[in-house]
């Protein structure tokens, strides 16, 4: 499982050349598909964001390794990713509700190697430790809240070990 919050600021390295091209500045989700579709990268404040689509990523560990020979388009030149980015909203701290009770808030998002959302880290609420809300247990989600089908959630550290 990949923790999305840990992607921010990671260096991006081209596989074929070993060159560091930039750092991850943001991520772009397709909420309907529940999938991370791209990373936005930039070299600095004055440079416009460039798009690394998910299939161009070779690995995500200490650094993001991307395929070589790919011309990373500017965000403004990629209409699909640009439109998804315009609809973006902050998911972290969104309330998680079960049976009308606030059971916590989103601390992080977990995706698998293909970019599909597999679940959310639930912080706070009545839990003593961070919990994991599997995507299968999400009844609905929106800008204001995520509605969970269950309040019986495993600890994040137990899910990471599995």
Both tokens of 112, joined, read 């698998």
How far apart CA 162 and CA 154 sit, in angstroms, is 11
* Predicted pLDDT of residue 124: 84
Are residues 123 and 80 part of one domain? no
* Predicted pLDDT of residue 51: 95
* pLDDT, tens only, 111-159: 999 999 999 999 986 666 799 999 999 999 988 999 999 989 999 988 8
Are residues 50 and 117 part of one domain? no
Binned at pLDDT 50, 70 and 90, residue 70 comes out as confident
Final residue belonging to a domain, choices 61, 86, 111: 86
Reference 146, options 112, 124, 122; nearest CA is: 122
CATH number of the domain encompassing residue 77 = 2.30.30.240
Are residues 146 and 99 part of one domain? yes
What's the domain count of the chain?
A: 2
Binned at pLDDT 50, 70 and 90, residue 10 comes out as very high
Are residues 81 and 21 part of one domain? yes
Length of the chain (residues): 162
Binned at pLDDT 50, 70 and 90, residue 7 comes out as very high
Both tokens of 40, joined, read 């936005």
* Predicted pLDDT of residue 108: 95
* Predicted pLDDT of residue 29: 94
Are residues 59 and 99 part of one domain? no
In this structure, are residues 131 and 121 in contact, taking their beta carbons and an 8 Å threshold? yes
Are residues 77 and 138 part of one domain? no
Q: What is residue 73's three-state secondary structure? A: coil
How far apart CA 109 and CA 97 sit, in angstroms, is 16
Instruction: Give CB contacts under 8 A, 24+ apart, made by 67-70.
Output: 67/14, 67/15, 67/16, 68/14, 68/15, 68/16, 68/17, 69/16
Final residue belonging to a domain, choices 69, 86, 103: 86
Range of the domain at 47: 2-86
Binned at pLDDT 50, 70 and 90, residue 101 comes out as very high
Final residue belonging to a domain, choices 50, 69, 86: 86
Q: What is residue 113's three-state secondary structure? A: coil
């Amino acid at each position: 499982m990949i923790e999305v919050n840990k992607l921010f600021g990671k260096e991006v390295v081209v596989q074929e050349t070993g060159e560091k091209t930039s750092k991850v500045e943001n991520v772009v989700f397709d909420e309907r598909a529940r999938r991370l579709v791209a990373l936005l990268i930039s070299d600095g404040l004055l440079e416009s964001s460039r798009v690394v689509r998910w299939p161009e990523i070779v690995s995500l560990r200490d650094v993001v390794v991307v395929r070589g020979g790919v011309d990373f388009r500017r965000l403004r030149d990629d209409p699909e990713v640009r439109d998804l980015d315009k609809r973006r909203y902050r998911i972290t701290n969104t309330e998680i509700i079960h049976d009308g009770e606030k059971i916590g808030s989103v601390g992080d998002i977990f995706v698998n190697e293909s970019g599909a959302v597999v679940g959310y880290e639930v912080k706070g609420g009545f839990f003593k430790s961070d919990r994991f809300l599997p995507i299968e247990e999400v009844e609905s989600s929106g800008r204001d809240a995520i509605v969970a089908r269950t309040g019986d959630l495993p600890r994040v550290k137990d899910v990471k070990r599995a």
